Amino acid sequence: MQIHAFVLHLLRATARRDNVRDLLATCALEGEIWEAVDGATLSSTELSATIGAGLFAPAYPFSLKTGEIGCFLSHRQIWAEIVRRDLPAAMIIEDDAAITPEIYGAALGLARAHIETLGYIQFQTRAQKGPSTLIDMAGACALSVPERGGLRTTAQMISNAAARQLLALSDRFDRPVDTFVQSHWQTGLRPATILPSGISDIADQLDGSTIQGGARKPPLAKLGREWARYRYRRGVVQASRHSMAPTEGGFAPRDSE
């Protein structure tokens, strides 16, 4: 199966430009640089047309930052491009990633072999928590399907069918893209994970996150935020446990609501 690579890059993040070129040169796939949506430039009309609130349970407890909105829209653009070009699958790599070629090569081979069946495979940068189902291995690289989907979108491979399904279900969204993908009880798509993947997150070595930020919150507000996060994570655990998405990966096709 021919896999096309999209290296997602926010143009104003000039400190990442050399890294973007390195990613394109070392990802072992034909590909291109894809200009990310800059959430900071979106008008209030564009923002209100995109985001909702409480679209499905558990309700996401925080307002989306403009960077998170831009990131979600960037991934949606690539999902749409996969469908438009009728690509069988694509690799999406964010511009703060780094590749360790020896490990990445084995992980890429695993993903190629299983992407048509699994639909969405994360090249994870950190260990998963909770139970998972082992699908296959290549050397030290393990391909598994966790009960609770992982966060982060540093790098992932997505099939045409999965891109079509995620696109149809996200005309409006109320949580960051990685949190949305994690929500397999809603999407019907249970994402798989490769670890180690040969992918690491080097944002701190470049220019820091282009999504997070903002003023420091007072202690009471910070405590309230941590409580909201805890309650949301408990909801995710429960929803993941009772999800109807296939437990060995892949997805149950759904229509957009």
Task: Of 38-47, 191-200, 223-232, give the range with the top mean pLDDT.
Answer: 191-200
**pLDDT-based confidence at residue 219 (cuts at 50, 70, 90):** confident
Query: What is residue 1's predicted lDDT score, i.e. its pLDDT?
Result: 83
Tens digit of pLDDT for each residue in 97-123? 999 999 999 999 999 999 999 999 999
Query: What is residue 19's predicted lDDT score, i.e. its pLDDT?
Result: 97
User: Do 235 and 58 meet the contact criterion of CB atoms below 8 Å apart?
Assistant: yes
The proportion of the chain whose per-residue pLDDT surpasses 90, expressed as a percent, equals 81
Q: Is the pLDDT confidence value at 59 over 90?
A: yes
DSSP string, 155-208: EEEEEHHHHHHHHHT-SSBSS-HHHHHH-HHHHSEE-EEEES-SEEE-HHHHT-
Which pTM value belongs to this model? 0.92
Q: Which tokens in the block code for residue 5?
A: 């690579």
Number of neighbouring beta carbons within 10 Å of residue 112 = 17
Class of domain 4-251: alpha beta
Query: What is residue 83's predicted lDDT score, i.e. its pLDDT?
Result: 98
**pLDDT-based confidence at residue 257 (cuts at 50, 70, 90):** very low
Burial code (b: 16+ CB inside 10 Å, e: under 16) for 173-203 equals bbbbbbbbbbbbbbbbbbbbbbbbbbbbbeb
Average pLDDT over residues 123-139: 94
Query: What is residue 209's predicted lDDT score, i.e. its pLDDT?
Result: 64
Tens digit of pLDDT for each residue in 170-198? 999 999 999 999 999 999 999 999 999 99
Q: Is the pLDDT confidence value at 85 over 60?
A: yes
Average pLDDT over residues 160-179: 96
Query: What is residue 256's predicted lDDT score, i.e. its pLDDT?
Result: 45
Q: Is the pLDDT confidence value at 212 over 90?
A: no
Q: Is the pLDDT confidence value at 232 over 50?
A: yes
Round the average pLDDT of the chain to a whole number and report it.
Answer: 92
More confident: 241 or 255: 241
End-to-end CA distance of the chain: 31
Domain assignments of the chain as residue spans, ordered by start = 4-251
